[in-house]
Structure 1
C-alpha cells in the first residue's frame, strides 16, 4: 500500500464526501414537515417515501461500505465460499416480499415505529419488546463500527496511516459528519443521499467489471489466476475455487440463515416502515434483486485482484489496491468516495433505528411513560450520536478482529428475534412467556457455539453421533429457539400464566390505511386470534 499521502485521491474523496454530507445535513428542508419533533418524521421520514426513494433507501441500507470492502476481501481470501452473499440475497427478497408488507400494514395502522413496538402490541408484553429492542441495539452497534472501518480502510489506502496522526483524526472528522448529518435531518438525510451513493457505486462497479477485463485480456485470465491462487493456499485457509462437498452445508446454511436474519435488523425494518404504501414495499422487494447482480460483480473484483498481481497481507485492502493499480488517481478518488458515502448512508440509518428502539421500547416503556413526542425525538437524536460515538470508540480502541467477531455474533443474535416478529405476523398462538424463554435458549445456544470457535467464525461443527456436519450457528440456534418454543408453549399455557392483550386485528395485516384511519381508535382484540 502507499507509504505516503495520495493527494489527488484524497482531494477527490474529500470534495465528494463532504459535498454529499452537506446535502444530507440540509435534507430537513426536503419534504419538510411542520415539525420534526416526533419519531414519525425524524425517525421514519414522515412514512411517506415512494417507490424510487424507498428503492434507493433500502439499497443504501442493505449494501454498505463494508459490503463493498468485505465481499471482494472474502472472495480474495477463500474463493467461492465468498459468493454465498449472492444466493442469500436471491432467497432474501421473496421472503421479504411475503413478510414485510404485513409488518408495514400493522405498523401503519397502529403507529408502530420499531419492530419491538409491533411485538409489544401483538403480545401485550413490554418484556418481550424489551428483549427484541436490546437484541437489535446490541446487534447494530458493531454494524455501525464496521461502516467506520470501511472508511478507515480507504484512509489507509490513501496513505493517511503513514502520517503522524494516523487514521484517528480523519475518522473523528467522519464521525462528526455522521453525527451532524443524522442528528439534524433524521431519516431524510440518508434517503436523499442514497441516490448519490448508489449512483456512484453502480457507476464505479460497472466501469471496473468492463474495463479491468479489457485491460488484461478478458475473464479467462481472471478465473485462471484465481484458480491457481486458491490451489496454492494452505489447507488451513479452507480456500477453494470450486466449493468442495464438505463446504456445501456451511455455504447453504450461511445463505439461508443470512436471508432470514437480514430483515430482522432494525435498520432494515426502518427502511420498510418509511414507505408510503404497502404496495411500495412489495414493488421494492420485486425490484431490489437488481442489487444482487451488482453484488455478484463486486464479488468478482476479489478474483480480479489476483489476475493483476495484487498481494496484500490484509484481505480488506485487496479492493482498494486493485483500483489504485488499474485506474488513474482521479477515478480512484471517486471509487473511494463511493465507499465512504456507502458507509455514511447505512451508518445513519442504523444509528436512527437503534435510537428509535431506545426511545420507544426502553425509555418510554420503563423510564417515563408520559414522555411527549418531542422528548422521545430529542432523546432519540442524542442516542443516535451516542451510538455513532460508541462505534468510533470500537474502531479506535478495539482490534478490528474483535469487531468483526462481534458483528458475526450480532447476526446470530438478531436471528433469534425471528419467531416473535415473523410468527407474530401470522398467528397469536404462542404465549409471550414461551417466546421470551425460547429467545433466551436461542441466544444462549448461539453465543455458546460462537464462543467455542473463539468468536472467529459463525460456522459451527455439529456432532450428533454418526451425523457430523458444519452449519451456520445462527440457523442452528434458531432451530433450538423454535424447538424450545414448541415444547414450552403448551406447558406455559397449562400453568395459566397471564397472556397479554393483542391490540391488533386480522385485517390490520392486509391493506393500506389512510392516516385518518390509522389515528382512529379501535377496540383491542383479545385471545389467540390468527391474523
Structure 2
C-alpha cells in the first residue's frame, strides 16, 4: 500500500514536469525555434528564471544523497560544497557578464564556440567538445544513479534499481529533447518550491522526532561523534585515512570555485540571460540558496544515531532512510519528487550542453549537418544519455567521486577558456600544450589512486602543470599569426546603453524569436 501511494504521487509529479516543459514552448514557434532558442533560451531569460535555473544546476541529487552520505561517513569535509559554491558565485559576478558579453557580441552559444572563435580554429572547438563530453558524462551518470536510487527507495523496493535508472534516463531525455533550456528553467521553479518546502520541513521534523530538538541532537553529536566535527573528519587520520584535511578542503574549494564559472552548464545559464545585470543580481542572490545545503549534511549526521552501520554506497541513502522510516507514504513521495527533480534539471542541462557542443562544433564540420545543427544536437542528446545509462549499469561508482572527477577534468579548460579571453598574449600553442599536459596529469593521478596528492586536490596539481606549460610555451614562442583583436573582453563589459547600440549590428549565429520575454 505504501509503495502504491508513494509511486503514484511520484508519477503524477513526473507527468506535471513534462507538461510544464511543453508549456514553456507556447508562443515559441511550436518546435521550439532554432538552436539558439533551444540551447540558450533565445538569450531572453530574466533574473528569476536565471536564478532558479542556475540554482537547479548547482543543487543536484548529490545534495540529497551525496551530501548526507558524506556527512554520515566523514562529517566536516562535506562543507567544501558550501564553500566552493559560494566562492564560485562571487567569481561569477565578474566572469558571468564577461562571458555573456563576448558570446552575445559574436553570436556564440557555448564554451566550444568561444574557444574556436578566440583562436580562429573551428576544429579546436570540436576537440574541446569531445573532451568536455568525457568529463560531463560521469555527471549525467551521477544524476541517473541519484534519481534511480531515489525512485527505488521511495517505492519501498517495488521498483528495481535497473528499471529506476531507465525511467530516469527516459523522462529526462524526452524532456530535454523537446523543451531545451527554457523548459528546464520552468521546471526549476517547481523544483525549487519543492526543495525549499521539503528540506525546510525535514530540518525541523527530524531533530524533533528523533532527538526532542536541536539542543539534545547537537549535545549528543559533540559528546559521541566529535571526530565528525573536525578535519579530516571521521576516519581521516593515519596512512589509510581519507586524506580530506585542511589542504584538501582549501585546494578543492579553490579549484571548484574557479571551475564552476566555466562549467559548460553554468555558461549555458549565463548565455541564456537577457542582460549582464541579470547575472550580477543572480550572483548576489544565489549564495542564499546554499543555506539549504546544511540540511542534508545535518541529517546525515543525525542518521548516525538512527540508522547506524550503513556502509559504502548505502550511506548515500542516509537521508531517505530517515524519511522512509518515519513519514507517511504520501510525504515520502513528495520528498522523492523534490530529490528526483534535483536530478532531472541538472541532467537535462548537462545533456543539452553536450548536444549543443557537438551540434555546433563537431557535427557542423560535416556538410550533411552544417545546416541542421539543432537536429544534430538533439540526436547527440539521446546518444549521450544512452551512453551515460550504459555506464550506470556497467561502471557504477559513488556519487561524490564521480562529481570530483568531472570537476578535476573540466578544470583543465580554465587557461584555454578563461585566461585566453582576458589575456590576449596567450597563444594557441601555449593553451593547447597546457591542456594536453593538464589532462594527462589529472588522469594519471586520479586513475592511479593518487588523489589527493600530499593532501592537495589532484585537479589543482594538474592545473598548475597545465598553466606552467601554457605560459612557458607562450613566452618561448612568438605570437599567433592571426590573434583575435577582440579577445580581451574584460576591458569591455558593456553598459545597458552600449548593449542597445550593439543590437543594430549583432548577427546571432542562429536567430530565434528573441522579441519574446519571460
TM-score (norm 1): 0.86
1:517 aligned counterpart, secondary structure? coil
Q: Does 1:360 align with 2:360?
A: yes
In the TM superposition, residue 452 of structure 1 has moved relative to its aligned partner by: 2.3
What's 1:524 paired with?
none
What's 2:283 paired with?
285
In the TM superposition, residue 34 of structure 1 has moved relative to its aligned partner by: 7.5
2:359 aligned counterpart, secondary structure? helix
Write the deviation string for residues 133-185 of structure 1: whole angstroms up to 9, x where unpaired.
2222111111111111111211231356466xx22223323322212211111
1:397 to 394, 397, 400: 394
2:198 to 166, 190, 204: 204
Q: Does 1:174 align with 2:168?
A: yes
Q: Structure 1 residues 229, 309: CA separation in 2 closer, same or farther (over 3 Å shift)?
A: farther
What's 1:346 paired with?
346
Q: Does 1:221 align with 2:216?
A: yes
Conserved 8 A contact 2:420-2:487: no
Q: Does 1:187 align with 2:173?
A: no
Q: Structure 1 residues 244, 519: CA separation in 2 closer, same or farther (over 3 Å shift)?
A: closer
Q: Structure 1 residues 416, 511: CA separation in 2 closer, same or farther (over 3 Å shift)?
A: farther
State the alpha-carbon separation in 1 of the partners of residues 447 and 30 from structure 2: 50
State the alpha-carbon separation in 2 of the partners of residues 136 and 425 from structure 1: 18
Q: Structure 1 residues 246, 232: CA separation in 2 closer, same or farther (over 3 Å shift)?
A: closer
Q: Structure 1 residues 499, 369: CA separation in 2 closer, same or farther (over 3 Å shift)?
A: farther
Conserved 8 A contact 1:79-1:230: no
State the alpha-carbon separation in 2 of the partners of residues 290 and 425 from structure 1: 30
Write the deviation string for residues 356-386 of structure 1: whole angstroms up to 9, x where unpaired.
110111122x3239822xx001111111121
Q: Does 1:417 align with 2:413?
A: yes
In the TM superposition, residue 213 of structure 1 has moved relative to its aligned partner by: 2.0
In the alignment of these two chains, the number of paired residues is 495
In the TM superposition, residue 239 of structure 1 has moved relative to its aligned partner by: 4.7
Conserved 8 A contact 1:124-1:503: no
Give the stretch that moved more between structures: 6-15 or 222-231: 222-231
RMSD: 2.7
TM-score (norm 2): 0.88
2:319 aligned counterpart, secondary structure? helix
What's 2:453 paired with?
460
2:80 to 65, 80, 84: 84
Q: Structure 1 residues 488, 404: CA separation in 2 closer, same or farther (over 3 Å shift)?
A: same
State the alpha-carbon separation in 2 of the partners of residues 202 and 262 from structure 1: 23
Conserved 8 A contact 1:221-1:307: no
1:153 to 142, 149, 152: 149
Q: Map 1:58-97; keep pairs closer than 5 Å.
A: 58-97=54-93
In the TM superposition, residue 415 of structure 1 has moved relative to its aligned partner by: 0.2
> Which runs of 5 or more residues in structure 1 are unaligned?
462-469, 522-531
Conserved 8 A contact 1:432-1:499: no
Give the stretch that moved more between structures: 265-274 or 168-177: 168-177
Q: Structure 1 residues 175, 452: CA separation in 2 closer, same or farther (over 3 Å shift)?
A: closer
Conserved 8 A contact 1:157-1:320: yes
2:265 aligned counterpart, secondary structure? helix
In the TM superposition, residue 37 of structure 1 has moved relative to its aligned partner by: 4.2
In the TM superposition, residue 407 of structure 1 has moved relative to its aligned partner by: 4.1
1:44 to 27, 40, 45: 40
In the TM superposition, residue 200 of structure 1 has moved relative to its aligned partner by: 0.3
Q: Structure 1 residues 436, 489: CA separation in 2 closer, same or farther (over 3 Å shift)?
A: same
In the TM superposition, residue 186 of structure 1 has moved relative to its aligned partner by: 1.1
